[in-house]
């Protein structure tokens, strides 16, 4: 694990940076698969940023199901009592959407513990109640079927795959209305700083386009455009 820890200032900054801009910054650094596939916000309009705390499921088996309600050994329940402040619960459900991975009671519990969001490439149960929580949740689908019909929890806070993206514990997980991007912890500081600058530039470019300015030399910006942008920034 690396040393980056999210601050309140960084969380505020990230709430104004799109996952598209962050993904582009990762691609510049050789990370071509940082944006999760098939994972969508349960309630667009919310944003999320925190460190990954992972939960991994394998396919269910009957002898394992029979022990599922032992809260002292059930890894899912242990994870709910281990995830904490500034963390995002990332659930590796193998992209199985036929059954839920958790529901509203567990979501309320982890939010009370300070967890800042949930991401899974599987389904969730109780989605109407989850949507009403105004809690950042990203999922592959909705299913009323309980998790034990298809899933067995085996590990927490280990490397997982979610939405066809590798997730390491403590990676920075950022979500917006488009989806979720995973930023390696060691790259987080430089990616945030670069993406914040790029987002400001692109917002300025949009305003220029609205005035009727053509794209040539504007996007991508040539040296003259960059100078104009810097002059505008200095005037603010």
Closest to 142 (Cα-Cα) out of 129, 151, 152:
129
pLDDT digits (tens, 9 = 90+) for 142-174: 999 999 899 999 999 999 999 999 999 999 999
**Could you give the C-alpha distances from 60 to 94, 124, 143, 153, in angstroms and in order?**
12, 16, 16, 9
Does residue 3 form part of some domain? Answer: no
Specify burial of residue 227 (Cβ count, 10 A radius: 0-12, 13-18, 19+).
Answer: exposed
State pTM to two decimals: 0.95
Q: What is the span of the domain harbouring residue 51?
A: 8-184
Does residue 72 form part of some domain? Answer: yes
For 26, other C-beta atoms within 10 Å of its C-beta total 21
- Answer left, alpha or beta for residue 10, where phi above 0 means left and psi between -120 and 50 means alpha: alpha
**pLDDT(66) > 80:** no
Note whether 195 and 180 are same-domain residues.
no
Is 122 annotated to bind a ligand? Reply is: no
Is 103 annotated to bind a ligand? Reply is: yes
How far is the C-alpha of 18 from the C-alpha of 24, rounded, in Å? 10
Closest to 122 (Cα-Cα) out of 33, 36, 37, 39:
39
Is 125 annotated to bind a ligand? Reply is: yes
Closest to 102 (Cα-Cα) out of 87, 90, 85, 86:
90
Note whether 74 and 155 are same-domain residues.
yes
**Average pLDDT of span 86-107:** 98
**Of 184, 204, 225, the domain-final residue:** 184
Does residue 1 form part of some domain? Answer: no
* Domains identified in the chain, total number: 2
Note whether 120 and 13 are same-domain residues.
yes
How far is the C-alpha of 39 from the C-alpha of 90, rounded, in Å? 11
Is 104 annotated to bind a ligand? Reply is: yes
Q: H helices within 150-214, ranges in order?
A: 188-210
Note whether 227 and 114 are same-domain residues.
no
Note whether 76 and 148 are same-domain residues.
yes
How far is the C-alpha of 236 from the C-alpha of 234, rounded, in Å? 6
pLDDT digits (tens, 9 = 90+) for 120-136: 999 999 999 999 999 99
């Amino acid at each position: 694990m690396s040393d980056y820890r999210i601050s309140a200032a960084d969380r505020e900054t990230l709430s104004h940076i799109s996952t598209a801009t962050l993904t582009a910054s990762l691609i510049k650094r050789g990370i071509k698969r940082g944006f999760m596939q098939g994972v969508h916000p349960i309630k667009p309009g919310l944003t999320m940023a925190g460190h990954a705390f992972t939960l991994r499921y394998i396919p269910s088996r009957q002898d394992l199901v029979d022990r599922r309600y032992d809260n002292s050994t059930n890894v899912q329940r242990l994870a709910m009592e281990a995830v904490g402040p500034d963390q995002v619960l990332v659930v590796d459900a193998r992209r199985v959407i036929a059954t839920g991975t958790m529901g509203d009671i567990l979501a309320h519990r982890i939010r009370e513990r300070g967890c800042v969001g949930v991401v899974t490439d599987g389904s969730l149960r109780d989605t109407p109640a989850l949507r009403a929580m105004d809690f950042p949740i990203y999922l592959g689908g909705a299913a009323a079927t309980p998790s034990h019909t298809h899933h067995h929890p085996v590990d927490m806070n280990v490397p997982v795959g979610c939405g066809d993206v590798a997730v390491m514990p403590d990676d920075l997980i950022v979500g917006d209305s488009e989806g979720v991007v995973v930023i390696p912890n060691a790259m987080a500081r430089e990616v945030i700083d670069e993406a914040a600058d790029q987002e400001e530039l692109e917002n300025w470019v949009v305003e220029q386009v609205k005035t009727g300015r053509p794209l040539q030399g504007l996007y991508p910006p040539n040296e003259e455009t960059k100078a104009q942008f810097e002059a505008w920034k200095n005037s603010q």
